[in-house]
A and B are shown apart, each in its own frame.
Chain A
Amino acid sequence: MEGLGIQLAFYSFAAVTIGSALLATMAKKIVNSAFALMATFFGVAGIYGVLGSDFMAVTQIVVYVGGILILLCFGMLLTDRVPDEFRVRSPRRYVGASIAATLTFVGLAWAISGTAWARLPHITDGSAEALPTTALIGNALLTDYLLPFEFASIVLLVVLVGAARVARGGTR
């Protein structure tokens, strides 16, 4: 694909991502937030696609749109009576959220600046076709990144047990 097309695609996905993310944080109704978030997830998936990371693009949709967002929607259904309005709007929440957002931003910026983009020819000169990444990711997970891989299962277990307990009322 031509360099111009890829740039155009990148910037439009970036615009979708940022715009809908803003909408998600600013929306008055919780359900509109959820929908804006769906667009954000798709935008991020699109960026992964543009960067030639097919596995990540698809995973993004399966996990976030097909999983996490459904969880949010169920949460919406569980809220009392008026699911349309946010219940709490205290400045305290903004402080916590901005700290979390800043930390995430710093982490992402650090990771992005540390990435060797030059090793990806389809990005640097836009001429080469991106290679499929699934097998590469599988290899990396099972050899160099084995500890994080196994650790992920522990994290998932802890999340499962903890969240199920909290949802049950934290007594049993």
Chain B
Amino acid sequence: MNPLLAQLTAAETDGWWAGFQAFFVAPENAWAVSLLLVLIVGKTIPGMVSLLVWVERRGAALLQDRLGPNRVGPFGILQSIADLVKFIFKEDVLPGHVNKPIFLLAPALAVIPPLVVLSFIPWGANVAIADVDTGILACFAFSSLHVYSVSLGGWASNSKYPLLGGVRAAAQMISYEIALGLSALSVFVIAGTLRLHDVVMFQTDGLTIAGTTYDALWARILDWNLFKQPLGAIIFLIAGFAETNRHPFDMPEAESELAAGYHTEFSSMKFALFFLGEYAAMIVMSSLFIVMYLGGWTFFGVENLLTDWVAEYGAANPGWINWPLIVEAHLHVGIFLGKLAFLLWFFIWVRWSLPRFRYDQLMSIGWKRLLPASLLWFALTAVGVALVR
């Protein structure tokens, strides 16, 4: 049962509105709630991606002292819509040399996993679509499917550039996945839970040093896992860049040597779906980083401003929809989206600031630097937790 809905109980006995509420509140209609949430998030993500693409292009222009797309709409903000229209009308070529079923399946595998992972992210205290106990593992499970879209897309194209790009991408993604998992594991060791909601709560319960819990602002700031797990956070971020094939790890589609890498042979909407999947994966990775290291929907007490109002309203109007609760949910999601915007800008910033790694450098960073570092950090964290408990 969704926690937000658990508090919305129908008071009126007649009228369509009461019936409407009663329908969604009844436990046997939980599927309808799920469907509604799925539709909302599923529709939001493509919108976010198109905005992100515009920001990336304008941001690149800003960093390189040029204009960027500025013709379609104010500041060119409708550029992505124009691109979408173009994608739809573009010729959809299915080259004769490809392995047809897999060629068609690969773009689907690029889009579906990030969408599913977003259902595990707690956007607010009461706003999570599927708040499962094994949250982070489920995220990893579905993110790991991303490898297939890349490697099989390259393989099914039956063409040299895509094949090279696909194999490179697959090897790169699996090389950084272990470091990613180990640095995440350190967070869950100190939090003592795998549930993402509880990991966020763990970062807001005040800093406990030698049995004393501090609740001042400095303690609240230092309570973020970013400060408790500095090295882990850096490793996670680097591995996250590699997992999403972003600069400086965008080997698989290094355009100067491999044309467009694994999606060289894909045209029209098939290419657009790869594009969507890539940016959605970026949103997923940033969201995970926010939940694990940057305190999720919390911002040093701002998230609790409405708690009293919610409680009062709930007490004063028993059996009626608790509207302040919904306002509070918006506040939480707003804080989360603010952090998300910052991290996504960071992704773009890095992309236009750093040169690309060479492939052998990339592999040796993954296996010989990040993996031992994350193992060591993990061991240190475990010792610390066993000592302090």
Contact = CB atoms under 8 A, between A and B. Distances in A.
Direct interface between A and B, CB < 8 A: yes
A55 B141 CA distance: 11
Nearest to B195: A132
Contacts of A97: none
A57 B352 CA distance: 40
Nearest to A61: B141
Contact of B145 (A32, A54, A65, A134): A65
Contact of A134 (B28, B101, B133, B155): B133
A58 B134 contact: yes
A159 interface: no
B297 to A, nearest CB: 22
B62 to A, nearest CB: 38
Interface string A115-146: 00000000000000000111000000000000
A163 interface: no
Contacts of B170: 70, 73-74
Interface residues of B, number: 25
24 contacts: A31-B155, A35-B102, A55-B137, A58-B138, A59-B137, A61-B141, A61-B144, A65-B141, A65-B145, A66-B141, A66-B144, A66-B145, A67-B144, A70-B148, A70-B170, A70-B174, A73-B148, A73-B151, A73-B152, A74-B170, A77-B155, A77-B167, A132-B133, A134-B194
- Main DSSP-derived SS at the A contact region: helix
A138 to B, nearest CB: 10
Given A32-B101, A58-B141, A133-B133, 19 more contacts: A31-B155, A35-B102, A58-B134, A58-B138, A61-B141, A62-B140, A62-B141, A62-B144, A65-B141, A66-B144, A66-B145, A66-B177, A67-B144, A70-B151, A74-B170, A77-B155, A132-B134, A134-B133, A134-B194
A2 interface: yes
